Amino acid sequence: MKNQYNSTDAREFSNSYPDYHPELALRVYTSRLIGREPSLVLHGGGNTSVKARVTTLLGDTMEALFIKGSGWDLATIEPQGFPALDLGYLRRLRALETLSDEEMVNQFQTHMLDSTAPSPSIETLVHAFLPHRHIDHTHADAIVTLTNMAAPEQRLHRILGAKIAILPWIMPGFPLAKALAECFENQPDLEAIILRNHGIFTFAEEAEVAYSRMIHYVTLAEEYIADHQPAPEPPSAVTAERQLDAAMILPLLRGALTIDPGVPGHIPPFLLHWRQSDAIRRCLDRDDAGALYGNTGVLTPDHVIRTKNYPLWLALQGHDQEQAAQAITAAMAVYEQNYSNNFQVQVTTRQVQRTMLDAKPRVILMPGLGIVTAGVTDKAARMAADIAEHTLLAKARGAAIAPYQELAAEHIFDMEYWSLEQAKLHKGAHLPLAGQSALVTGGGGAIACGIGRKLLAAGARVFLSDIDQVRLQRVCELLAREFNPALISGITMDVTDSCSVRQGLQEIILACGGLDILVPNAGLAHVAPLADLDEAAFRKVLDVNLVGVFQVIKAAIPIFKRQARTGHIPAQIIINSSKNVFAPGAAFGAYSASKAGAHQIGKIAALELAEIGARVNMINADGIFDDHGISSGLWDVVGPDRMRSRNLDPQGLKEYYRNRNLLKTEVLADHVGNAVVFFASGLTPTTGATLPVDGGVAGAFPR
């Protein structure tokens, strides 16, 4: 591992934070160096600290401990990510015989120098009890790999030298802090302390030295592991017989991972992340892969809240969908039963009361496919995949040295059900569409922008499709300024082309595992009385507004059925129809007829898809001109004619449509988005319904 410390960079970095203590600014610099190396820490793992003298509001000087705050990632941490605590007081806590976790956290909160700062790391007392100014802690892959072996002490001392100490697994908190402090006091020349199944602490008075020691010891471990690896094999060819069809498998997996809404402890559906590479393929193709990966636990208990202890090992044979569905359902049932049994053993033998978490796996290892991970959010699924990939490769490298020895089940249980660890997941009420994916066609227009905005605000993973890449990109960029860009994807798709539609939906499956919410919204307008209506123009409007709706619904049905085949994900189809379905306009025959046809297709879909729990509803909108600078394609075409016929300017036309509805209100794209979210949330057992979003147009009342 390369030492990235650069004195010039460190000085310039510190100077860029003139309003913060110089030691803290330097602490941020070396923390980022650590955080940007995934083989040291992943997704908020590890912690760093610095001790410095500060002046209080009353002018007193005191020693403060600046420690990484909970929820901050070392890769991007800022000075405000290091809450400051009264170091003198924290050190006095060491005199206690015991200190509960809850009281420990209370002491942290009541002795912070800024009440608005983030919560300090749960390992704050480790950093307080050790005397050094700078302390770095990581879950380095190489170190943890070597500690997940039987009796690793002799090997580690041989590799790393005499200035390290090795402690057995100790639960983080007060006991661990006392143990590390005693360990250093018994051997004051130590440069590092290694915790079995956990990671490594390095420390020094200077930031550069503490960081350099971390890199030094991790590099020694990496070099030892590399020297004991067999000669690399060329990437194995994946034959057609061995390669699984991800587009078929992922929706089946996603359905099986969904918890029945009627079961206590229900959580939202999971989004999936699929990862494959030559290295992953080689790992999963090993003769002992099932035993090595499927039957062994996490590298460090810190990972258990994101991945559970064990992955689901799933080796499917053949390409038959029915056989795959049965195999997935059976394997999932066995996994859940094993998890439940292990939970019962722990609570019974330990005589403790705990509420069992959901028993679904978060990591699925599949030869012929790769790593599939699950999370209520896309971020959670990706985090689990990063951890799973590192775990897979670390176990493979470690197996060349000695058999893998996982941490005892009771320690894993303690960590998984530790309230302080669970707090990292920010448990609480989920957004109504959390864990769900949505496709909105006609994504380059104003209404799609409003629908996308409201779906994102409700927690959905949103895909927008359009044939016009320029308009589509504008909408995606606009929404990305309001929401996390990772939750928004644009797909170039022609709804009139069945091949293009299938490719677009496959892209969605490969990105998140399936589809929950389909909003056929693409539309095309044409103004001409019937006597002058060109047949080609008429057919073009029909192709987009009617055939396009048919195409996307037809292509989505197999996905919905696969998810329903193995689970409980109720699909939602919400068609953006039009007020013209019930109140057509003169010289607007192509649009009105095509929208009426699409509306009727929706009712047929409601009849046919009810057997798999899918709901199909329609929204009849009217008078929506633009959204935050995104124009409506329909009004781009219709507007000039309507303005000429009424001798109005653009603002006057808006006023005309506002005043013609019963509520005398402007109808916005966000209003359509709210209606979509209402249906998508499944708050009522409704299908085949029509909801007007038009301010009240009497002639368009549903009949």
Where does the pLDDT of residue 426 fall: very low under 50, low under 70, confident under 90, or very high at 90 and above? low
Q: What is the mean pLDDT of residues 50-60?
A: 94
Q: What is the mean pLDDT of residues 189-205?
A: 97
Residues 188 and 265 in one domain: no
State pLDDT tens for residues 76-116.
999 999 999 999 999 999 999 999 999 999 999 999 999 99
Where does the pLDDT of residue 649 fall: very low under 50, low under 70, confident under 90, or very high at 90 and above? confident
- pLDDT for res 663: 97
Residues 299 and 213 in one domain: no
Is 234 part of any domain? Answer: no
- pLDDT for res 520: 98
End-to-end alpha-carbon separation of the chain, Å? 71
Residue with tokens 């082309």: 497
Where does the pLDDT of residue 661 fall: very low under 50, low under 70, confident under 90, or very high at 90 and above? very high
Judge whether residue 497 has pLDDT over 90.
yes
Q: Which amino acid is at 321?
A: Q
Judge whether residue 638 has pLDDT over 90.
no
Could you give the number of structural domains in the chain?
3
- pLDDT for res 264: 56
Residue with tokens 């170039």: 492
Q: Which of 380, 520, 340 is nearest to 461 (CA)?
A: 380
- Per the CB < 8 A criterion, the answer to whether 373 and 362 are in contact is yes
In sequence order, what DSSP letters do the residues of 463-500 get, joined into one string? Answer: EEEES-HHHHHHHHHHHHHHS-GGGEEEEE--TT-HHH
Percent of residues in the chain assigned helix, strand, coil, to nearest 5: 50, 15, 35
Residues 200 and 311 in one domain: no
| CATH code, 573 | 3.40.50.720
User: Which residues touch 287 (CB under 8 Å, ≥6 apart)?
Assistant: none
- pLDDT for res 427: 57
Is 238 part of any domain? Answer: no
Where does the pLDDT of residue 161 fall: very low under 50, low under 70, confident under 90, or very high at 90 and above? very high
State pLDDT tens for residues 524-543.
999 999 999 999 999 999 99
DSSP one-letter code for 240:
T
Instruction: Give me the domain span that covers residue 135.
Output: 7-227
Strand 690-693 to strand 517-519: parallel, antiparallel, or no bridges (unpaired)? unpaired
Where does the pLDDT of residue 640 fall: very low under 50, low under 70, confident under 90, or very high at 90 and above? confident
- Measured CA distances, 105 to 70, 89, 144, 518 (Å): 12, 14, 27, 45
- Per the CB < 8 A criterion, the answer to whether 519 and 676 are in contact is yes
- pLDDT for res 628: 83
Judge whether residue 428 has pLDDT over 80.
no
More confident residue, 633 or 298: 298
Residues 399 and 517 in one domain: no
Residues 510 and 367 in one domain: no
- pLDDT for res 265: 54
Residues 560 and 520 in one domain: yes
Q: Using only C-alpha atoms, what is the Rg of the chain?
A: 30
CA distance 586 to 589: 7
Residues 367 and 401 in one domain: yes
Judge whether residue 425 has pLDDT over 70.
no
Q: Which of 502, 459, 510 is nearest to 483 (CA)?
A: 459
- pLDDT for res 634: 76
Residues 539 and 408 in one domain: no
Residues 395 and 449 in one domain: no
CA distance 343 to 361: 14
Query: Can you give the length of the chain in residues?
Result: 703
| CATH code, 411 | 3.40.225.10
User: Which residues touch 121 (CB under 8 Å, ≥6 apart)?
Assistant: 47, 49, 67, 68, 69, 70, 127
Judge whether residue 239 has pLDDT over 60.
no
Residues 371 and 498 in one domain: no
Judge whether residue 234 has pLDDT over 80.
no
More confident residue, 641 or 226: 226
Is 698 part of any domain? Answer: no
Q: What is the mean pLDDT of residues 532-561?
A: 97
Provide the whole-model pTM. Answer: 0.93
- Measured CA distances, 470 to 450, 451, 544, 670 (Å): 18, 19, 19, 22
- pLDDT for res 44: 74
Q: And the tokens for 21?
A: 């203590």
Residue with tokens 């390369």: 2
- pLDDT for res 666: 94
- pLDDT for res 262: 60
More confident residue, 570 or 85: 85
Cα within 13 Å of Cα(180), Cβ side? 31
Question: Which of 387, 420, 453 is the endpoint of a domain?
Answer: 420
Q: At what angle do helices 589-609 and 535-542 cross, to 10 degrees?
A: 30
Q: Which of 140, 20, 123, 18 is nearest to 68 (CA)?
A: 123
CA distance 494 to 542: 14
- pLDDT for res 531: 97
CA dihedral 88, 89, 93, 95 (to 10 degrees): 60
CA distance 413 to 501: 46
Q: Which residues of 151-164 are buried (b: 16+ CB within 10 A; e: fewer)?
A: ebeeebeebbeeeb
- pLDDT for res 86: 98
CA distance 427 to 570: 24
- Per the CB < 8 A criterion, the answer to whether 368 and 242 are in contact is yes
Is 49 part of any domain? Answer: yes
Residues 64 and 197 in one domain: yes
Is 102 part of any domain? Answer: yes
Is 255 part of any domain? Answer: yes
Q: What percent of the chain has pLDDT over 70?
A: 97
Question: Which of 391, 420, 449 is the endpoint of a domain?
Answer: 420
**In a 3-state reduction of DSSP, which class is residue 105?**
helix
Q: Which of 98-112, 309-323, 635-649, 665-679 has the lowest mean pLDDT?
A: 635-649
Q: At what angle do helices 22-35 and 7-15 cross, to 10 degrees?
A: 120
Is 371 part of any domain? Answer: yes
Judge whether residue 433 has pLDDT over 70.
yes
DSSP one-letter code for 294:
I
Give φ, ψ of 137 to 5 degrees. Answer: -135, 130
Residues 415 and 463 in one domain: no
Average pLDDT along the chain: 94
Is 701 part of any domain? Answer: no
Judge whether residue 581 has pLDDT over 70.
yes
Question: Which of 378, 395, 420 is the endpoint of a domain?
Answer: 420
